[in-house]
Amino acid sequence: AAVQAAMKERREEVKEVILTDVCSFTLGTEVVVEYDEGKYEDGRFCPIIERNTVIPASHTERLYTARDNQTKVRVRVLQGESRFARNNLFLGEMEIEIPKAPKGQESVDVTYTYDINSLLEVEVTVVSTGESQKMIIKGQDNQMTEEEVKKRMEELAYLKIQPRDYEENRLVLLRAERMYEESLGDRRRMLDRYITAFEAALKGGDHDEIQDARDALNELLEDEEE
């Protein structure tokens, strides 16, 4: 409860520094995709912050290893709209070490935080170890000093709190999961549809979609409890 209270207080503090604008181009990274069982294609573009997203914004994508005993993950930061990485603008890259494991068992969370001042922070975290690395990419017209950049990114730290971690979302998920475990048949299948829709909205990160899906799930839970 103390942690949640602190988070709410922090959100109140930063409200006044938020300026509304949209991201002009999609920001993402290069990935390998499996297009058929056991068949892979590299050089594909994975959007992380999509064009026309209201900024400032922070989105996270979890990426998994594509090879057995892979020891490193390279994150290439790209801007553009093409499905193919080579057709998009290269902004920078970073590399992080990961433990050896069969493909798909190790993963990294790639978080992009983009600001109205053309500041892009890229943070890569190894899920299994917690090790992380960061880099800042500034737009050509950005004249902020390192100290100003650091202060601004600290102000935007609240954006990195994932929607699933907000108290109101965690509570409704716990309540829905408990009812699902107690249910059978059609009731369980209906709960599964609503829970899945809510989880998809949480992953998407759109505030209005999350609220609509949460309200729908809450309404279903209340109806089922009567």
pTM: 0.67
Distances (CA, A) of 5 to 12, 79, 99, 155, 164: 11, 37, 36, 17, 16
* 48 domain residue, yes or no: yes
Across the chain, which distance is largest between two alpha carbons, in Å?
A: 61
Those residues whose C-beta lies under 8 Å from the C-beta of residue 24, and which sit 6 or more positions away, are: 51
Query: What pLDDT, on a 0 to 100 scale, did the predictor assign at position 14?
Result: 43
DSSP string, 147-176: HHHHHHHHHTGGGGS-GGGSHHHHHHHHHH
Does a structural domain hold residue 7? Answer: no
40, 41, 43, 46: CA torsion to nearest 10: -70
Q: Which of 136, 160, 184 is the last residue of a domain?
A: 160
Query: Based on the domain organization, do 77 and 169 belong to the same domain?
Result: no
Where is the domain boundary, 130, 160, 190? Answer: 160
Segments forming the whole domain that contains residue 211: 164-225
At 188 the three-state DSSP class reads: helix
| pLDDT tens track, the chain, 226 positions | 344 444 444 444 444 444 458 888 999 999 998 777 777 889 999 999 999 988 888 888 989 998 899 999 999 999 999 999 999 999 999 999 999 999 889 999 999 999 888 889 999 999 999 999 999 988 777 778 888 888 888 888 777 777 777 888 889 999 999 999 999 999 999 999 999 999 988 877 777 889 999 999 999 999 887 6
In a domain, 23, yes or no: yes
Are both 92 and 197 inside the same structural domain?
no
**Do 50 and 122 reside in the same domain of the chain?**
yes
One domain, residues 151 and 195? no
